[in-house]
Structure 1
């Protein structure tokens, strides 16, 4: 008579209640210390003197100028990177050509290079003793220690954001929809406008939001190429450093809350976009099942 051995249940990591609690509390503690704690300090210091002092700090002429300059740079860089990201994503996902992977690697290079190194590289290119600097100076065009240098450095560090959001999605979607539109007589621009972009619109919005957040918060490359001249080439992150160095702590933290607001806006946008993507996927699944 054969004896049946009881089946052994598979034990997974975290099944024990004590282990699960320890892991959860450890994650919450690290999150509080590394992320929530510093953000709480920023707002506590910013409002330490009251709402009136906070508003006065934001209304300082140099802070207002830095905020306006930061917004101006973002208004230029984000649309350019959106167009650039669409062009690169379209090129590498819809066409096969030698050097395709190399192009992607080059576009993602800013993620691997320190922003300080990027700023120094621009010094060697556009500086007074650089490759192109003397030519521009002869023609009265100032690149470094001026707004054009800030825009160029910001474009460099933010170039991959839209591309990284679009390429995986466009690769997953394939070329069937575009090829069908072409067979029906659509031009290349019509295919892009009516087929491709609507299918990647949410990823495009998220990439633009990430690009905007990075432009407004960029410090390293901009600090090198701008010269950090107060009231002329100081963006909001540079203005925060200047205020802190001048021991104007409340004013520095008040300006920092603006950048935190940009980060929170980006998180909210991410949540809304992911929710819209999930709803769109659910609708498509229902249509397929009904069809």
Structure 2
């Protein structure tokens, strides 16, 4: 009998926390018609913000995919001193505020920091430019691919890989023909989650980007800037696009979620 009150409670909770806010954003987006929405999406600043967002997200996903596969195999298939410490460090971004991440990156890669100063002397600017934004996004989305793959690798075991080695397959062949097909669904799930996190990141990117309009402004920063400047149609339109992207990504993750996690 308790399941019905619990269902109602969950639905009411989601209604006020998720459905109503997103619904209001969509309503405010189109309350003045379709023309302002089109004008916003085709404006130079909006298109540039989406381009920067996509560029940062793609680089972050690529880096975390390579790191995630390698680290997951390392954690599951090998024993070494400091293994638990490595696992804890991978989960660190889940516990640390993104704003703290941005500040930490400035302390390391800022113009007046030893590392950042050396890089700038050699023509590489990290903070207040695309590299710093990519680093911040990589950090906040770091655990997602790893944690999606690790349970699947543990479930697979290494019997098939050992058999492939016995039959003469080298490491590369074993990885491509045994490991990758076995983790394909989990890898896709982790990549999609990483992409969603990268597209929606605000705190760390806001700190390291400098929020330069037309230069280092992502879509999330564009929403804030437009809203603070009382250009609410532009802000709500961009927010609605991000919300729709998130919904699509959510549907994709449902399709890619490994069966053992259901």
Unaligned runs of 5+ in 2: none
SS in 1 for 2:114: coil
CA contact (8 A) 2:193 2:253 kept: no
Question: Counterpart of 1:137?
Answer: 120
CA contact (8 A) 1:124 1:131 kept: no
Larger radius of gyration: 1
The yes-or-no answer on 1:204 pairing with 2:204 is: no
SS in 1 for 2:81: coil
User: Which segment is superposed worse, 98-107 or 19-28?
Assistant: 19-28
Question: Counterpart of 2:80?
Answer: 97
TM-score by length of 2: 0.96
Question: Counterpart of 1:182?
Answer: 165
CA distance in 2, matches of 1:22, 1:94: 45
Q: Deviations over 1:236-288 (max 9, x none)?
A: 100100000101111101001121122111111122224xx55x99xxxxxxx
Q: Deviations over 1:45-101 (max 9, x none)?
A: 111111111111111211110001111111211111111100001111111111111
Question: Counterpart of 2:138?
Answer: 155
The yes-or-no answer on 1:85 pairing with 2:68 is: yes
TM-score by length of 1: 0.86
The yes-or-no answer on 1:224 pairing with 2:207 is: yes
The Cα RMSD (Å) is 1.5
**1:18-167 equivalence runs, <5 A:** 19-167=2-150
Match of 1:245 among 211, 223, 228: 228
Q: Deviations over 1:5-51 (max 9, x none)?
A: xxxxxxxxxx2xxx444332222111100010111011001111111
- Aligned residue pairs, count: 261
The yes-or-no answer on 1:213 pairing with 2:196 is: yes
Match of 2:253 among 266, 270, 278: 270
Extract structure 1 runs of 4+ deviating beyond 6 A. none
